[in-house]
Amino acid sequence: MEAILQNVKQVGARGLGAPLVIVMLLAMIVLPLPPFLLDLFFTFNIALSLVVLLVVVYALRPLDFGLFPSMLLVATLLRLALNVASTRVVLLEGHNGGDAAGKVIEAFGEFVIGGNYAVGLVVFMILVIINFVVVTKGAGRVSEVSARFTLDAMPGKQMAIDADLNSGLIDQEEARQRREDVTREADFYGAMDGSSKFVRGDAVAGILILLINIIGGLAIGMGQHGLDFGTAAHNYVLLTIGDGLVAQIPSLLLSTAAAIIVTRVSSSEDMGNQVASQLLNNPRALAIAAGIIGVLGLIPGMPNLVFLLLGGSLGGMAWMIAKRQAQPEAVAESLPVPAETATGEVPELGWDDVQPVDIIGLEVGYRLIPLVDREQGGQLMNRIKGVRKKLSQELGFLVQPVHIRDNLDLPPNAYRISLHGVPVGEGEVHPDRELAINPGKVFGELQGTPTVDPAFGLEAVWIDPSQRDHAQTLGYTVVDASTVVATHMSELLQRHAHELIGHEEVQQLLDNLAQVAPKLVEDLVPKLLPLTTVLRVLQNLLAEGVPIRDIRTIAETLAENAPRSQDPDALTAAVRIALSRAIVQQVSGNKEEIPVIVLEPGLERLLQQALSSAGEEGAGIEPGLLEQIQVALAEAARQQEVNGQDAILLVAGAIRAWMAKFVRQGVPGMHVLSYNEIPDNRKITVVDTIGRNPTQG
């Protein structure tokens, strides 16, 4: 009970922060404050502005300080409340002298501007112009444009997140976080667009408050307290200008912070590191600047000492940066030569020199090496790990590691993906550009290098990274070079999944199953079936895109049907029937009615007779008939794609395996099911019939 009360007290204490701030602001407006409290609040206001500015400078991205728009509003209201409180004190006590409104206002009125109210007016107006015309207006315009482009780019960013999720580059949690970041980014820039209006209004209010205080102070000092014009002007104008400067300096700091945060680009470095790495990391620019400043310093009549001192400093900085950048090359050149190379002796060959073929290999040209080098910021290794993790979870077995090496025989920007040492895919990417993929509907064209997405064959354009937001606004899906390679690899590995599983992987699956069903595994292998037959069944399933995650159902079906048949194809058909619900779910989702394409009964009987008499290769079927079937199936698949539905061919169980192989070769993307594989709770709707009048050659 005590713990509950303590939690309630803690929550209540935290919840009182906002009401206390509001009460404090109202108190400063309504109640007269002594000079000491004014000094305290003015100092707090300056400190708060400095803290906000420094937090903005050290933030890695704008969303790291998402509270900034609300903080900007609160700081503006605090400053206006202080103006009201200080105005009351200045007008009531200004006739008593410079320290009547506190030491802070007196210091800014006497020390900062030297006690000269004419100078104070000029300084104040300059600060207001800088704040209002330059900083605030520019920050407001940037916020407005950023808010509009961020909202326009949201669909493209969402599509890019979905593409990364589907290709396995990110998991569900990271996708959810990135979607939240996209939404927060739009909300942030929208809030900044509105909050910039508060800063602009604050600058206008500062000018009006200054004029009102001067006129009111002169009237009160001369009319009520009998002061002459000079004394009244000295007291009230200096106090008013000091009050205005105390308010304008924090306002300028917050305006600067607002301008910085809306012009920042998300990065893994804070602003100081970005300046060091981007502005001061080019020795050529520094050297040229040093030369120009040095030449100006040699001209007679110029402040030679200052120019030469600064030119020498820039030249020294350029020399130090150039020396530091050249250091890694010198170290690389001084690496020791291997002993066998230095002596010219060739070591004796052994079996270790005969390297096994990599199951999955990736070769890259020399310009793509930074993509796989973590020390150079390469992300391809992490992307490939994400692909392997996603595929392993989807397929049901552990996908082997990818061996990456450079290949100087490849073009500089090319890469090649191989399985068991045989290339299965290749492409070219540009590490310094991004690929804008046309998903099918875009609202404009992009300037860049036209190409084709290597994974799915979609139209695409290589663009400069600065065009990313514009491309997403037009509806393009924009990905970097690492994502292009990883997505291509994911597509190829999924298509060739049956080539990735071997005896070791099957044995590991059975060992894992034995932990929960030991008797099942003991009776299945090797009593009922050899491991090779189980492997062949799993390969057949993966070749047709059926995951093997439900290894227990697969093993139970094999154990049940093994006494009747040892044929892998017959066992595969039995397993498919056992997995029918999962297969249909994968193909058509949760739809109760499944739109299917069927064969004309006469054509189906003809194919059954030909396959039963000539074997599963279908050697007895006329080539002309096969061509007609393939053309008709391709047309039906295109029509289903236009209708936004999956192309599903429903055939008799006796010819399903042959038709699946036939369709894979000529109509990729079409699913082939048998009548036995349709669950009882699903209905079928025939949308097309192939071969209504079959013509035999």
pLDDT digits (tens, 9 = 90+) for 406-463: 888 899 999 999 999 899 999 999 999 999 999 888 888 899 999 999 988 899 999 9
SS (H, E, C) 446-462: CCCEEEECCCCCCEEEE
Q: Which of 248, 251, 228, 250 is nearest to 240 (CA)?
A: 248
pLDDT band at 99 (very low <50, low <70, confident <90, very high): low
Mean pLDDT of 350-355: 72
Torsion 118-256-84-114 (CA) sign? negative
Q: Which of 415, 557, 382 is nearest to 492 (CA)?
A: 415
Range in 115-119, 512-516, 582-586 the model is least confident about: 115-119
- Residue 55 Cα distances to 179, 261, 684, angstroms: 25, 10, 62
Output the six-digit token pair for 102: 């506190």
* 36 in Cβ contact with 222 (< 8 Å): no
Q: Which of 215, 213, 147 is nearest to 184 (CA)?
A: 147
Prior bond of 526 cis (ω within 30°): yes
Q: What is the pLDDT of residue 1?
A: 42
Cα(191)–Cα(137) distance, integer angstroms: 16
Mean pLDDT of 8-37: 66
* 127-147 pLDDT, tens digit each: 777 777 777 777 777 777 776
Domain boundaries, the chain: 21-146+193-262, 278-287+294-324, 356-498, 501-578, 583-697
Range in 201-210, 337-346, 424-433, 444-453 the model is least confident about: 337-346
Cα(627)–Cα(611) distance, integer angstroms: 17
Residues whose CB is less than 8 angstroms from the CB of residue 389 and which lie 6 or more positions away in sequence, other chains included? 168, 171
Q: What is the pLDDT of residue 460?
A: 94
Q: Which of 132, 111, 102 is nearest to 42 (CA)?
A: 102
Residues whose CB is less than 8 angstroms from the CB of residue 92 and which lie 6 or more positions away in sequence, other chains included? 32
pLDDT band at 117 (very low <50, low <70, confident <90, very high): low
Range in 76-80, 149-153, 296-300, 572-576 the model is least confident about: 149-153
Please report, in angstroms and rounded to a whole number, the separation of the first and last CA atoms in the chain.
89
30: burial class by Cβ within 10 Å (0-12, 13-18, 19+)?
exposed
Instruction: Report which of residues 7 and 362 the model is more confident about.
Output: 362
596 - beta bridge partners? 686
Output the six-digit token pair for 620: 């007895």
- Residue 195 Cα distances to 63, 144, 155, 218, 606, angstroms: 16, 11, 25, 35, 76
Best-predicted range by mean pLDDT (125-139, 206-220, 250-264, 664-678): 664-678
630: burial class by Cβ within 10 Å (0-12, 13-18, 19+)?
middle
> What per-residue string of b and e applies to 377-413 under the rule 16 or more CB within 10 Å gives b?
ebbbbebbebbbebbeeebbbbbbebebeebeebeeb
Q: Decide the pairing of beta strands 414-419 and 422-428.
A: antiparallel
Q: pTM above the 0.85 mark?
A: no
Mean pLDDT of 341-370: 77
Cα(672)–Cα(301) distance, integer angstroms: 90
- Note every long-range contact of 529-533, with CB atoms under 8 Å and residues 24 or more positions apart, other chains counting: 529/558, 529/562, 529/566, 529/571, 531/503, 531/506, 531/507, 532/503, 533/566, 533/568, 533/571
Fold of domain 583-697: Rossmann fold (3.40.50)
* 476-516 pLDDT, tens digit each: 999 999 999 999 999 999 999 999 999 999 999 999 999 99
- Residue 297 Cα distances to 102, 292, 309, 313, 315, angstroms: 47, 9, 9, 13, 14
Output the six-digit token pair for 304: 């030679």
Q: What is the pLDDT of residue 692?
A: 64
Query: Which one-letter DSSP state was computed for residue 131?
Result: I
Mean pLDDT of 316-334: 63
345: burial class by Cβ within 10 Å (0-12, 13-18, 19+)?
exposed
Answer whether residue 536 shows pLDDT above 70.
yes
Output the six-digit token pair for 540: 């057949």
* 236-249 pLDDT, tens digit each: 777 777 777 777 77
* 479 in Cβ contact with 487 (< 8 Å): yes
> Tokens 């030119």 appear where?
311
Range in 94-108, 173-187, 404-418, 571-585 the model is least confident about: 94-108
Q: Which of 69, 434, 81 is nearest to 262 (CA)?
A: 69
Cα(651)–Cα(597) distance, integer angstroms: 9
Torsion 577-581-585-588 (CA) sign? positive
- Does the domain at 356-498 match CATH 2.40.50.140? Answer given as no
Q: What are phi and psi of 328, to 5 degrees?
A: -60, -35
Q: What is the pLDDT of residue 440?
A: 82
Residues whose CB is less than 8 angstroms from the CB of residue 135 and which lie 6 or more positions away in sequence, other chains included? 252, 255, 256, 258, 259
Answer whether residue 363 shows pLDDT above 50.
yes
* 453 in Cβ contact with 435 (< 8 Å): yes
Cα(266)–Cα(278) distance, integer angstroms: 14
CATH for 501-578 is: 1.10.8.540
